[in-house]
Structure 1
Amino acid sequence: MTITGGKPGRAALHLARAASLAPSPHNSQPWFFVEEGHDRAFEVHADAGRRMPLTDPGGREMVIACGAALFNVRTAVRHLGFRPVVDVLPEPADQHFLAQVSFGAHATPTDDEESPARALSLRHTHRGPFGPEPVTEALLAQLRDRARAEGAVLQVLDVPEKVGLLARLVDTAERADRTDLWRAVELAHRVGPTGVPVGACRAHPDLTLLAARD
């Protein structure tokens, strides 16, 4: 977690801690945060120095990770009892300045809004194989609603032929990646104390339907 802007306020530290719990490619955490003094506003910036250039050449995964951090910031603002006011790309000339979040009107958070706040510290990435239990239609409907609220669409692959096609595409990409020596070196640097824990990779990628990390 990196936060700049003099001595940070208590609210800024709360937001930064929440943001730093977001998922990122191989735990690279490609972001830094700026406080605009006395908890007036909170900025989310992409840190290009933490981007994995061979794994993420276009920076798309870096921006997605920062988007997840921004979601956590919004969740933390609601937990404090305010409505988040978000300005995306506030300075178009600075493409790494992704968002500014300020405190809007006071509003007591609902139970639905508090639930994600409670879950922030519990979230973790599962890197093992998928279990055989089917996902219930009720949960899928809830996930679709959550995605729609964020302006996104959750596409469910429930046709075996489509799942098989996806598995073949993932396998093709995995095998292509293995031939890239420098990319393998880059990934190796992201395993260990500053990246993905060694014990988190539980199964060889060739033993799962959708290739996992090796």
Structure 2
Amino acid sequence: MASRQLDEKTVTGLVAEAAAAPSMHNAQPWRFRYLTSEHALLLCADPDRAMPRSDPDNRALHIGCGAALFNLRVAAAHTGLVSETRLLPEPQDPLLLAVVHLTEDAGRPQGQGLARLYPAIRRRHTSRHPFAEKDIPEDVRATLQDAAEREGAVLLFPGPWHAETVLDLIHDAESRDTLDPDASEDLVRWTRLGPEADTAVDGVPEYAFGPRKRDGKAPVRDFAGRRRVADRGTTVFEHTPHLALLSTRGDGPADWLRAGQALERVLLEATLADLATSLTSHALEDRALRLLTRDPAWGVGQVQMVLRLGYGPRGPATPRRPVRDILDLA
């Protein structure tokens, strides 16, 4: 398959779309390097954006980078390119997470299927607002499950008993954080309050916190904590939230990268289906709680993310770092 010399504008555009991916606390823990002679983009972890308190194993960091990798694949397909990806290509370099070779698209069905998701990249936003008490159709659920499976993961919609268990575990995680004065260290570092929110290029700005929860069971992390944030208001969230658990069979760096790609594929499909989405990793940040999120009857794999899905406001766009800060051209 013929290779095509990519100009700087094309490479910059691809990386900009990749960087629209979600990441824990919007830390954007990625860097890219384009090797002109090899027609390849390298995806690297940015250790300065790791969260040693909340994510000591860098599991969430890898998931965020995996989501960015999937966006890159979608953007490449939209541009008329095929992306051939190798995960963790250099074992001696743990910060090098993936290499993506870009070649001409000869009409591969895979590339065409990815390109279909492109409009959802910029429409997808994390929503910390209430969703309607409305069921998600079975065909939509099946589409989301197929999306996860295509990336080597499993998406499970827990039944009522299991969902209540997951909600209890999230509440338990919130209670543990309240008792631990150091637990909010990463959250404080990555939230942007006051004038800083208007100029931030990363983190979660106060305008994206959403209202405080007065009632309801929706798992929505309060990024304000005990800090005062003006004009948020309080409201009732859904009492029967629609949860989905994203799992992989293994639980190492490659599995986390696959989980991130599967997560973003699910989120983009959900966006095209007019679903609003939010993520919670609160109960997954404690290993003891994380093990309990798995369905004891189904009992396969490792839960990597809890998704909340529904019909409601999409939420505002959150800031992104300029591409010049995350891309090196060589």
In the superposition, the TM-score normalised over structure 2's length comes to 0.59
Task: Structure 2: give runs of 5+ residues left out of the alignment.
Answer: 1-6, 193-199, 223-330
2:83 and 2:100 in contact (8 A); partners too: yes
Which of 192, 204, 221 does residue 196 from structure 1 map onto? Answer: 204
1:18 and 1:72 in contact (8 A); partners too: yes
Q: Is 1:156 the counterpart of 2:164 in the alignment? A: no
Cα distance in 2 for partners of 1:74, 1:59 equals 23
- Aligned partner of 1:139 in structure 2 is 140
After TM superposition, give the deviation of residue 191 of structure 1 in Å. Answer: 1.3
Moved more, 61-70 or 204-213: 204-213
After TM superposition, give the deviation of residue 14 of structure 1 in Å. Answer: 1.6
- Aligned partner of 1:3 in structure 2 is none
2:73 and 2:114 in contact (8 A); partners too: no
Write out aligned runs for 1:47-66 (5 A). 47-66=46-65
The aligned amino acid for 1:151 is G
Q: Is 1:9 the counterpart of 2:17 in the alignment? A: no
The aligned amino acid for 1:148 is E
The aligned amino acid for 1:74 is R
1:169-206 deviation line (CA, Å, top 9, x unaligned): 11001111222222323312211133112122224357
1:9 and 1:38 in contact (8 A); partners too: no
The aligned amino acid for 2:76 is V
The aligned amino acid for 2:88 is L
1:68-114 deviation line (CA, Å, top 9, x unaligned): 00001111111111221111111111111000001134234766433
1:28 and 1:195 in contact (8 A); partners too: yes
More strand by share: 2
Write out aligned runs for 1:1-214 (5 A). 9-37=8-36, 40-108=39-107, 112-157=113-158, 159-192=159-192, 193=200, 194-204=202-212, 207-214=215-222
1:127 and 1:202 in contact (8 A); partners too: yes
After TM superposition, give the deviation of residue 37 of structure 1 in Å. Answer: 2.0
After TM superposition, give the deviation of residue 10 of structure 1 in Å. Answer: 2.4
Cα distance in 1 for partners of 2:62, 2:12 equals 22
1:171 and 1:210 in contact (8 A); partners too: no
More helix by share: 1
1:44-85 deviation line (CA, Å, top 9, x unaligned): 101111012111111100000000000011111111112211
In the superposition, the TM-score normalised over structure 1's length comes to 0.88
Cα distance in 1 for partners of 2:99, 2:8 equals 16
Cα distance in 2 for partners of 1:208, 1:160 equals 15
**CA 180–126 in structure 1, closer or farther in 2 if over 3 Å, else same:** same
1:10-49 deviation line (CA, Å, top 9, x unaligned): 2221221011100001110001001112671101101111
The aligned amino acid for 1:200 is A
Secondary structure at the residue paired with 1:21? coil
Secondary structure at the residue paired with 1:181? coil
Secondary structure at the residue paired with 2:103? strand
**CA 60–93 in structure 1, closer or farther in 2 if over 3 Å, else same:** same
Cα distance in 2 for partners of 1:80, 1:67 equals 20
Cα distance in 1 for partners of 2:126, 2:31 equals 21
Aligned length: 206
- Aligned partner of 2:264 in structure 1 is none
Cα distance in 2 for partners of 1:84, 1:147 equals 19
Cα distance in 1 for partners of 2:39, 2:95 equals 21
The aligned amino acid for 1:61 is A
Cα distance in 1 for partners of 2:94, 2:70 equals 19
Moved more, 102-111 or 87-96: 102-111
2:82 and 2:102 in contact (8 A); partners too: yes
